[in-house]
A = this chain, B = another copy of it.
């Protein structure tokens, strides 16, 4: 990996290569048009190509290539050179792994999850006006929301401010004047990255977060892109299970409600597949049953799963009842199907009565009547604690992306 000590090892060459600079590092250039990372593409580095092997970190963004045809771009007569790479991780403790962007639940392996959860648990203990509450002082987060999601936005903004950072808010970026005028997402990102240190983005198109991350020289967090990913929700769900039940290996989880369209249950299934001896129950009305891709994936990972129509029986056996809302918007004109589906599996006092003492009820919220309000008072009702855990997970991710480990 290129580091500040690579400064002296650098030697001019004209080879084609890619640069292994992570977003938490800063390229030091001389005579170059600016310090934007993308500019590296146009520079002839005087480092050996060994120092420039992969522009992006471990999370799959396509590396950007630079090319030199022997012609050195110059500014005001000074030839442009990369003279080194400076690590900007001011608070890093070790260098466990590279976290450049948060784009999808699948990007995390078991060790990474465990490490993130460790940081999240530290975040639970951050007290007002303690040194820990100021670690992101001077950092600016832009919340670029192309569709409204006040809950998610407030959670991220609270996380940033709880760590002393500042926020630039765009609650309705779809009407972002320039987007309305036809500007590409890429151009918007290249502008916004000039104003902020990290972007939290919600978009209506699947894959938008990845496109943004490929363009940006600063970290991108996907706060939901269309029917695609919402990785921080998946992380907080798994974190909540660990915090509430005390384990992840050997856990048995009932996924209840809208399993066909529910983004959260699909992501959760993917993540649970990383643990051992997991058992998953699918309890869904016929019209919104879990799709085959997830079932096949679980089978391929040796995860036991079964479908059941008996919520009471499943509830009495599992550690977690993960209830979800039946989304009316998925049914279009078929309100009869919607009404049938939504009333089918309700978590109420009767369900609580058969559940084990240590088991918990979770829900990604908002809930309508799929969990009755009298359940709220039971200590096993974990959904508001789950929402709060979103805060800690997001604090942890902001810390990791901006400061490193």
Contact = CB atoms under 8 A, between A and B. Distances in A.
Given A150-B177, A176-B151, A183 B365 contact: yes
Contact of A196 (B32, B80, B158): B158
A199 to B, nearest CB: 11
A210 interface: no
A62 interface: no
11 contacts: A34-B385, A39-B379, A73-B379, A76-B246, A76-B358, A140-B161, A148-B176, A150-B176, A154-B196, A158-B196, A181-B368
A16 interface: no
Given A151-B178, A158-B168, A379-B42, A194 B365 contact: no
B158 A384 contact: no
Interface stretch (A45-53, A131-139, A273-281): A131-139
A56 interface: no
Interface in A335-373: 357-358, 365-368, 373
B367 A187 contact: yes
A387 B154 contact: no
B148 A175 contact: yes
A152 to B, nearest CB: 9
Given A34-B388, A129-B137, A171-B172, 15 more contacts: A33-B380, A33-B382, A34-B385, A39-B379, A128-B139, A133-B138, A140-B161, A154-B192, A158-B168, A171-B171, A183-B365, A184-B373, A187-B367, A191-B384, A194-B391
Interface string A146-168: 00111100110110011000101
A138 B130 CA distance: 9
A154 B168 contact: yes
A168 B155 CA distance: 9
A382 B388 CA distance: 44
A384 B170 contact: no
Contacts of A1: none
Contacts of A36: 384-385
A97 interface: no
A41 interface: yes
A114 interface: no
Contacts of A168: 154, 157-158, 161
Contacts of A9: none
Interface in A80-117: 80
A32, A161, A196, A373 pick with most chain B CB within 10 angstroms? A161
A354 to B, nearest CB: 16
B169 A169 contact: yes
Contact of A178 (B196, B246, B366, B376): B366
Contacts of A73: 379
Instruction: Give 9 nearest A-B pairs by CB, closest first.
Output: A183-B366, A178-B366, A128-B138, A158-B195, A194-B388, A33-B379, A129-B138, A73-B379, A150-B176
Nearest to A371: B187
A387 B190 CA distance: 9
Interface string A382-400: 1011011001000000000
A378 interface: yes
Q: Which of A128, A162, A379 has the most CB of B within 10 A?
A: A379
A377 interface: yes
A291 interface: no
A182 interface: yes
A142 interface: yes
Given A191-B365, A385-B34, A177 B149 contact: yes
